[in-house]
Structure 1
Amino acid sequence: MTTSQKELEFQQVLLRVQESLTADEVQDLVFLCSDLIAAKDLSTVSAGTQLFVLLENQDLLSSEDPWLLLELLRIMKRNSLIRNLHFDAFTQTDFSTLPQRVSRYRQLLYEVSESICDQDLKNIKFLLIKTLPRKKLEKEVTLLQLFLEMEKEDLLGEDNLDVLQDIIAKIHPGLEKRIIQYKAESSGGMLIAQETGINSSVSYTPAPPSPLTSVDTMEDRVDRLSLRASENSGDQSQTENPETPQYEMQGDSRGVCLIINNRDFSDCTLGNREGTDIDKASLEAVFQWLGFEVVVEENCDRMRMLQVLKDLASRDHTPADCVVCCVLSHGRVDGIAGVDGQTVTVRELTETLSPVCCPSLFQKPKLFFIQACRGTREQRAVFGQSFPEDEDTPVSDAAVPRDSIPEAADYLLATATVPYHVSFREKGKGSWFIQSLCHNLKLLVPRGTDLLSILTQVNGDVSRKTDKSGLRKQMPQPEFTLTKRVVFPPPTTPPP
């Protein structure tokens, strides 16, 4: 085939495409090409052939380089049209090798527009009524045209999606996940640590994270967040606090509670964990009572612990209120031991449920309860306020380690002990921390008490425990980046 014949065939293909397009689809093409051609040139386009001429004049489309047309049609899901064109260059193409000229940002906005119904569009226009001129919000204005107006007003851009995300979250919460995913992919799932300038695997979150709070400041934070429930009244109106909102807990499903129970360490040098099954049974009963779907995994090595977290992240948590992960195992300063003796860092566990890996948990609380040692030191009982010079004070031992929960919103990490120290477990009664946690959940959830207040009570209970000698102590440590209070709805049945 001569060059002239090939060019003629391609022009015929373009004409057939024009004949197959509706007026709305032409405007869709215009929007997708708005990063490739000047806005003033696109403003007069009313037919596909006009757009194709503009693209050819810019050397973006030709018989030798027809791939932009194919890319546009595939984005618009006009696959049957592609097949019916019978253009040799199309039928003999490996689509995965095609160049990408339409930005991922444009594709995202197009995808959003395709998922929005007429009523959703009306609601979006209503939300923008104070922001954009009324003329730009007229009935015939499409969502893609609205996006272009938002871009002109600097309300929307490739790195400026916050306004759009806020609007979509109110109109179509399920679609918000796609925007979150785009943001995470655009940032590579990485942010730069503010103080060190070192890359840190911190999951994207659209709002600045709350600072991690350790045990020495927990009391002050809880004083601000704590629910002042009346001791003499069961009135649930006490849970209302306009200054500090609480996470929604009204879904069809409270969520999944994953319990990893590591007992048998016979394949490594660590001892078996007698009494851990008592903890497992207590947690299972309490979280079932709270409305969770409880999943128990026994005797996991390092790879299995990571895999069960990945399996949890792969679930669709859209109908759930939150997610809980309880890990019962041996531990070290650098993390939690699997039954093979290999360590999983806390960060590896928590980041599995980040918005990057699990968009359906975005802005939902991710609650981790870890029963494990964090070192080999034993905390000494301290009498009065006197501390010898050669003895560390409790405050200095409570410093938060760098390898902790990711600096992303909506996490809670409650560990049995502060860093570098052991935690205690009784063979016939279970561990101090888990038993106190379960006891206080059963006692205080029916009173409408928020979770941070409950954990403060756990801190107090465990800190008063000691062994028979009166010298061995334990101090749990909650850390959190929660942005609201966690208040579990009181179950209608008595506690287990």
Structure 2
Amino acid sequence: MEMCFQSVLLKVQESLSADELQDLLFLCSDLLCLRDLNTVSSGQKLFTLLQEQDLLSLEDPSLLMELLRITKRTRLIRSLQSDACMQTNGTADQPQQQQQQRISRYRQFLYELSESICDQDLKNIKFLLMKTLSRRKLEQNLTLLQLFLEMEKEDLLGENNLDVLQRIFADVYPALGKKINQYREENLNVVFIAEETEGFSSKADLPSSQTSLPSVEILGREMDGITLTKNASGFSRDNSQRSDSVNSGIDSESSEMPQIGNSMLEQYEMKGEWRGVCLIINNYDFSACGMGIRDGTDIDHESLRDVFEWLGFEILTRRNCTREQILKALMDLSARDHTQADCVVCCILSHGRLNGIVGVDGQLVFFKELMATLSPLRCSSLYGKPKLFFIQACRGTQNQRPVFPQTFTEDEDVLASDAGVPRDSIPEMADYLMAMSTVPLYASFRDKNNGTWFIQSLCHNLRLLVPRGKDLLSILTKVNADVSRKSDKSGLKKQMPQPEFSLTKTVVFPPPALP
């Protein structure tokens, strides 16, 4: 079947013109690093890169079909759907709303704009950019899509940075200038849905704008379907009461935070000879793959180093790591003897995508890969001990917008299983926590002078609340509250962190002794 699928890809490649290949490269520019894209001279090379990144396979050819749909290759789609191996797979003709959308609305919109521009319009656009972009680049035989990429490199264009483009199109093609303005207005009203919607069968099944957004999501797809539910009877289900209790905890840092009956919950032991190792991976320089530098990340690194040293951890630092170097750093950590340690911590400061973080070589490390390195199957001395990940990275390019309070509805899910579990065993993926700086599909924000909203709030609240005996999930809930109240100067950009966990006990760090 794999050979059959490669034949399908060869069929697509042979049907692509040079211009159509450039269209596909532009549409994939959010999925692959710029350095790799610059090496692509054929459809075969593009498909190989997508397969290497696990973005395209026989089991999931949806990205290929999405690219062909956007570029209006209807006849080719029908031809592929009739292919035996695609029919066997059953994904190619899956209803559109059930397929995961990999190409952003922004990228598709720019492609649609390019389809409306003639050669003379392109010359006029280049003329208007003469004092903005270098003459050398403009004199090259750039297509409009390639010009868009150059504008993105110079920070003249982005999903939330369409001012320059709108002014240019208003002069060259007023109707498209109005179209850009319409797109911007529609983008302001996009409803944010916290959960991935791959499992919903129709729009009627999607959560409405009144659905409650949980502050703590559970390790879902990254945990191969493991789901946990947490029902705290101590929390009021009345929205107004809940709002009052949360706000009181925010307004005064000396106020008591809501508790979940900690006396009823078992705690991980924190009585070892040493607290454990804290590995900090600090990726700053992405210039090798065309993604620039992450100004402000060193401030986060220093804050994390200081607070985890204060908590009694041994600090290991790795800087500017490629994909392979990230995995090696974690494997080296896994190879250590953690028998005398209470837990292990890994902090990663980097660029990211939906399902993982990006190395400085532009290559993706999936969250599942990060977790697997510290699995008790690989490191027996971490059996039953908390494995804590703190991830500062984007998980998409969208920006969250502020919303007004709503009356939330409640749905209760009950999970049952008849499978017996041996008394003396634990699931392989138990005892993990992944504290993400943002929810899936959205960006997280970094101040060049003060560090990131998430890491700075995390470090502040650890110092504030550990001495008061607060458990880690309560501290992360306070981090959620603090970051959710932040916004940019315009008041339009918001961020919502997301702790995901399979912890079986509470994590309470012993208060460090005063100096």
Question: What TM-score comes out, normalization by structure 2 length?
Answer: 0.47
Larger Rg: 1
Question: What TM-score comes out, normalization by structure 1 length?
Answer: 0.49
